[in-house]
Amino acid sequence: MDVDGAADISGQVNFHSNVVMDDNNQLIIGNGSDLKIYHDGSNSYVDEQGTGSLFIRGSSTIDLITADGTEYMARFQVNGYNKLYHNGLEKLETTATGVTITGVMSGTATSARYADLAEKYTSDQDYEPGTVVELGGEYEVTQTRRSRSTAIAGIVSTNPAHLMNDQLEAEHVVDVALIGRVPCKVVGQVRKGDLLISSDEPGHAQAYKDIHNPPTGSVIGKAIESKVIEEPGVIEVLVGRL
């Protein structure tokens, strides 16, 4: 049936073959012509021009794929991942804990809630955040056990702002803060600005009191706050700074 002009049809219309429309002819939906679907000879359009939103719904996964169906461009899973692709290769995926990026991330600037740069190391056991660790032991790091250790690695991080070597797997792995601001276990009195070195208390730092320069490799960082009691405690430390 060929219709030239307008046709008003009440009730349901069933099509058992293709609906063919010429270029620039539009499928118009809504009392106010809110939604239009058409092809202009070069490009195809889905135009939502109403006062509401355009919803694309799916009960499982919504996929954007190439015209030949061979490559994904984006995938969106209900209650699951969102994935973006470049040339068919996955580059970004949202997860329950954040975002996973494959490849190099470039930007003008970044910011973080937390305050240290950390790296994963294998260790002989799990250590609490704030523990001072050194290179040694059966694995890569272990907690310090003597005063003035010159093998200082850093402080076990509480919440790293940036974590390197994050794919490292072992029975015991610790995130060691290399530079930045972190809580640190200390023993003895400390003044703000004191250099910190290891102590005889395992995993604890102490203030360096000597008038001479500390041994190379022994400085953990600088105290950001003071501590007036002798008993072990925790203070904020600028790790990796002389």
pLDDT, tens digit only, all 242 positions of the chain: 677 777 888 888 888 899 888 999 999 999 889 999 999 999 999 999 888 899 999 999 999 999 999 999 999 999 999 999 999 999 999 999 899 999 998 888 888 889 999 999 999 999 999 999 999 999 999 999 999 999 999 999 999 999 999 999 999 999 999 999 999 999 999 999 999 999 999 999 999 999 899 999 999 999 999 999 999 999 999 998 76
Give me the half-sphere count of Cα atoms (radius 13 Å) on the Cβ side of residue 215: 10
Q: Residues for the chain: how many in total?
A: 242
Q: Does one domain contain both 83 and 167?
A: no
79 and 133 fall within a common domain: no
Domain range for residue 158?
A: 114-242
pLDDT given at position 3: 72
**DSSP code per residue over 89-101:** EEEEEE-SSSEEE
Residues 143 and 242 in one domain: yes
Q: Identify the domain boundary among 75, 101, 127.
A: 101
Contact 139/172 with Cβ under 8 angstroms? yes
51: left (phi over 0), alpha (psi -120 to 50) or beta: alpha
* SS3 of residue 43 by DSSP: coil
> pTM of whole model > 0.75?
no
Give domain status of residue 19, yes or no: no
Asked if residue 43 is part of any domain, the answer here is no
Considering only CA atoms, which of 154, 127, 122, 118 is closest in space to residue 141? Answer: 122
Same-domain status, 203 and 121: yes
Could you tell me if 156 and 133 are in contact, meaning their C-beta atoms sit under 8 angstroms apart? Answer: yes
Separation between Cα atoms, residue 34 and residue 26, nearest integer Å: 12
Say if residue 80 is in the same domain as residue 125: no
The rounded distance, in Å, linking the Cα atoms of 237 and 125 is 23
Same domain, 96 and 198: no
Q: What pLDDT, on a 0 to 100 scale, did the predictor assign at position 1? A: 67
Strand, helix or coil at 59? coil
